[in-house]
Amino acid sequence: MPPSEWDRGLDELVARLRIDRRQFLRAVAAALTWTQLPGSTLAPAPAGAVAVDPTIAETLEAFADTLIPGEKRTPDDRAVAGAGTGAGAVQAGALDLICSPRSGLAGILPALTTQINAAAIAFAEARGIALDPAVAPLVALDFAARTAFAVELLAAPGAFHAVYLLLAVVAFLAYHAAAHLPTVDAIRSGHPGLVAIGFPPPDADGLWRFPRFSYRRKLARRHPRTRRGSPR
């Protein structure tokens, strides 16, 4: 199958974000620390404020869909651009994970999405793109423009750079790891990301066992004090 528009966009995005693992982990750690500091620019919002705001929700979904595109959920879906085939990050639960306390982002999403949309407005103005005022600025961009915007947003250094990277990571974790769900439940419900990567199902009792060694030979003897995988 020839590469689609989103294939090319994703390739460009990955190519432009060449940072090594240590740099990436440092950025994520810095973002998590910064969001908890008193007086941070991204001060925590009141509990529950994130989940009910449609502008925040559609902005986050558009961001996640740009990274891992999927099909539109309905014909009038604006947040999902429809550049992919099948389920993408949005259908895999990216919004649920991003808004979860586990992400470390839940309390700062109003301020964070304001920054993203302000950057999207500046991006559009610089290129003469007219934005539809009926939706959030990022949502008003078409998929090609969203991809170019994401490349700039995630690659350029700045005050919010580490937090943007963390947001991207959370979207990928929702798709590739179903991090917002118990893995057994995600597998049994047919989570699209786990299905796409071929994650193996558990045994009937909900546990994973691997009777064959991945290197086709046993590399070490079982420790005599090991019980249930923990040498205690």
Which of the given ranges, 19-33, 131-145, 167-181, has the highest pLDDT on average?
Answer: 131-145
Quick check: is 181 in a domain? yes
pLDDT above 70 covers a percentage of the chain that reads: 75
CB 45 within 8 A of CB 108: yes
Closest CA to 8 of 187, 170, 127, 147: 147
Instruction: Give the strand pairing for 230-231 and 226-227.
Output: antiparallel
* Residue 220 falls inside a structural domain: no
Mean pLDDT of 198-222: 81
pLDDT at residue 69, as a whole number: 95
CA-to-CA dists, residue 54 to 134, 152, 153, angstroms: 12, 25, 22
* Cα–Cα dist 213/199, whole Å: 17
- Please check whether residue 216 lies inside any domain of the structure: no
Q: Using 50, 70 and 90 to split pLDDT, how confident is the model at 10?
A: very low
Kindly state the average pLDDT of the residues 70-91: 94
Domain membership of residue 34 (yes or no) is yes
Identify the top-confidence range among 21-35, 46-60, 62-76: 62-76
Which residues make beta-bridge pairs with 230? 227
* Crossing angle (nearest 10°) for helices 54-67 and 161-177: 70
- Contact 111/43 with Cβ under 8 angstroms? yes
Q: Are 214 and 193 in contact (CB under 8 A)?
A: no
pTM given for the model? 0.74
User: Taking all residues of the chain, what is their mean pLDDT, rounded to a whole number?
Assistant: 80
* Range of the structural domain that residue 170 is part of: 5-186
Confidence grade of residue 61 (pLDDT, cut at 50, 70, 90): very high
Residue 191 counted as domain residue: no
71: pLDDT strictly greater than 80: yes
Confidence class of residue 70 from pLDDT cuts 50, 70 and 90? Answer: very high
Task: Specify the pLDDT at position 229.
Answer: 57
Q: Has residue 154 been placed in a domain?
A: yes
Q: Strand (E) positions, the chain?
A: 226-227, 230-231
Residues 145-193: tens digit of each pLDDT: 999 999 999 988 887 888 898 899 889 889 988 888 899 999 999 999 9
3 contacts 69 by C-beta, under 8 angstroms: no
The DSSP 8-state label assigned to residue 70 in this structure reads -
Confirm if 167 and 106 have CB atoms less than 8 A apart. no
Which pLDDT value is given to residue 40?
46
Distance CA 45, CA 109 (A): 8
Q: How many domains does the chain have?
A: 1
Q: Quick one: angle between helices 5-16 and 143-155, nearest 10?
A: 10
